[in-house]
């Protein structure tokens, strides 16, 4: 079974620029998560989708971050405009139904200069 795919793997931008990340979850997984992981810390949930609906976006900085999952499959996370403190690894994870295990992609490492 193919895992969670993310692209790009690395991105370097200047502050105030925009950036978008893409995630393709495991086929059939209805739940999709975006996490931000700052160096030396654990993942922080940004947004959780159930199919194409948002379940939890309480920690998403909505003034600059947006995410969508239009057809309930792939998802994109956008930052506009980026700040220095957005430098982190952005992880996408998916989960099937009522099972508890989340499956993670390799992440996108973002550096904002």
Partner 1 sequence: SQQGEEDPQALSIQEGENATMNCSYKTSINNLQWYRQNSGRGLVHLILIRSNEREKHSGRLRVTLDTSKKSSSLLITASRAADTASYFCATDDAGNNRKLIWGLGTSLAVNP
Taking the complex as a whole, how short is the minimal distance between the CB of residue 16 and partner 1, in angstroms?
A: 27
Find tokens 């991105």 and name the residue: 11
- Residues 94/74, Cβ–Cβ less than 8 Å: no
Look up residue 18 and give its DSSP letter.
Answer: -
Half-sphere exposure of 83 (CA within 13 A, CB side): 6
Q: Is 83 helix (H, G, I), strand (E, B) or coil?
A: coil
36 binds partner 1, rule: CB under 8 A: no
| Pick 15 or 44: Cβ nearer partner 1 | 44
Q: Which of 13, 20, 30, 45 binds partner 1 (CB under 8 A)?
A: 45
Give bridge partners of residue 104 from the DSSP assignment.
93
Contacting range for partner 1; rule: CB under 8 A; set: 12-20, 36-44, 60-68, 69-77: 36-44
Q: Is 28 helix (H, G, I), strand (E, B) or coil?
A: coil
Taking the complex as a whole, how short is the minimal distance between the CB of residue 95 and partner 1, in angstroms?
A: 10
Q: How far apart are CA 12 and CA 37, in angstroms?
A: 16
Total residues interacting with partner 1, rule: CB under 8 A: 22
Taking the complex as a whole, how short is the minimal distance between the CB of residue 102 and partner 1, in angstroms?
A: 7
| Pick 5 or 13: Cβ nearer partner 1 | 5
Q: Which parts of this chain interact with partner 1 (CB under 8 A)?
A: 4, 40-45, 48, 55-56, 59, 91, 93, 100-107, 109
């Amino acid at each position: 079974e193919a895992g969670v795919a993310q692209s790009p793997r690395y991105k370097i931008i200047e502050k105030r620029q925009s950036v978008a990340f893409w995630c393709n979850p495991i086929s059939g997984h209805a739940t999709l998560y975006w996490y931000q992981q700052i160096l030396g810390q654990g993942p922080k949930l940004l947004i959780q989708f159930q199919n194409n609906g948002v379940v939890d976006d309480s920690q998403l900085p909505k003034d600059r971050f947006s995410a969508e999952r239009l057809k309930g499959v792939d998802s994109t996370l956008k930052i506009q405009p980026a700040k220095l403190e957005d430098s982190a690894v952005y992880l996408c994870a998916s989960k099937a139904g009522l099972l508890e295990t989340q499956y993670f992609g390799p992440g996108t490492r973002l550096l904002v200069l």
